């Protein structure tokens, strides 16, 4: 069960990751791609999306706005070669093709509910400029006080700058933020800033966890 830590009595903003929180994770598609290469999912994850630590992997660079999505595939060869895999050339297209994830409507409704109740709401996501029109179709951007996209700020989770940009755009102190994300490295960095956190493994279960946290710790 996801746990909220650390407790803070003055939370005024709730911030949501996109993949794995508001939608099902696109990494679910990696199992099909891995199967094509007779590889396991962690190997394909390392090849296509890079390591947990932020760096110069082409996926990371595209999320910071340094590469286009179209350029990712051509830059993956050395990462695949390190695992003795030869890519087919369509892996990124397969990963990002339409219909590969499902919007979690109850979580979107919770965002709207929180904003209606006076909380500031944020979307904090590692994403590409090319994906913004799709997000605008899937989400109600008006339900978010601030939309923080990695390509727009030139920084991606778990890099420091994107967390600072989120607090600045929301106009709150770090200690006022409750954050939901499914990746441990993103949660750990948020906690280092003093954010309260919920690590999401089941988005539907995270909805009552938000309320439990706010009921217990908010003024």
Total structural domains in the chain? Answer: 2
Sheet with 196-199: list strands edge to edge.
4-5, 196-199, 177-181, 13-16, 120-125, 146-149
* Tens digit of each residue's pLDDT (9 = 90 or more) over 55-113: 999 999 999 999 999 999 999 999 999 999 999 999 999 998 877 889 999 999 999 99
pLDDT at 218: 56
Please tell me the distance from the alpha carbon of residue 117 to that of residue 152, in angstroms, as a whole number.
28
Average pLDDT, the chain: 92
CATH code for the domain of 154: 3.40.50.1000
Q: How many CB atoms lie within 10 A of CB 151?
A: 22
This prediction has a pTM of 0.92
Domain encompassing residue 92: 26-96
Burial of 3 (0-12, 13-18, 19+ CB in 10 A): exposed
- Helical (H) or strand (E) element with 86: none
Q: Render pLDDT for 140-152 as a digit per residue (tens, 0 to 9).
A: 999 999 999 999 9
Contact (CB, 8 A) for 99 and 59: no
Between 123 and 215, name the one with better pLDDT: 123
Q: What percent of the chain has pLDDT over 70?
A: 95
Of 96, 127, 149, the last residue of a domain is 96
Residues 84 and 41 reside in one and the same domain = yes
Based on the domain organization, do 156 and 210 belong to the same domain?
Answer: yes
Q: Are residues 58 and 138 in the same domain?
A: no
φ/ψ of residue 65, rounded to 5: 85, 15
One domain, residues 68 and 159? no
**202 vs 205: CA distance, rounded Å:** 5
Dig out the tokens for 216 from the structure. 């217990």
Q: Which of 81, 96, 111 is the last residue of a domain?
A: 96
How high is the pLDDT of residue 90? 95
């Amino acid at each position: 069960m996801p746990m909220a830590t650390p407790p803070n009595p003055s939370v005024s903003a709730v911030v949501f990751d996109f993949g794995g929180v508001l939608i099902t994770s696109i990494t679910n598609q990696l199992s099909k791609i891995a199967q094509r290469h007779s590889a396991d999912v962690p190997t394909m994850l390392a090849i296509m999306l890079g390591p947990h630590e932020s760096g110069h992997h082409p996926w990371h660079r595209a999320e910071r706005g340094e590469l286009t999505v179209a350029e990712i595939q051509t830059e993956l060869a050395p990462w695949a070669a390190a695992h003795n895999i030869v890519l087919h050339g369509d892996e990124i297209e397969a990963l990002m093709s339409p219909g590969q994830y499902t919007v979690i409507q109850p979580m979107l409704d919770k965002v709207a509910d929180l904003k209606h109740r006076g909380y500031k709401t944020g979307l904090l996501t590692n994403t590409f400029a090319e994906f913004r029109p799709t997000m605008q179709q899937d989400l109600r951007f008006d339900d978010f006080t601030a939309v923080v996209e990695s390509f727009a700020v030139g920084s991606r989770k778990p890099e420091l700058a994107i967390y600072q940009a989120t607090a600045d755009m929301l106009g709150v102190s770090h200690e006022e933020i409750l954050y939901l994300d499914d990746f441990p490295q993103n949660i750990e960095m948020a906690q280092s800033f003093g954010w309260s956190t919920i690590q999401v493994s089941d988005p539907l279960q995270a909805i009552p966890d938000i309320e439990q946290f706010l009921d217990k710790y908010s003024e």
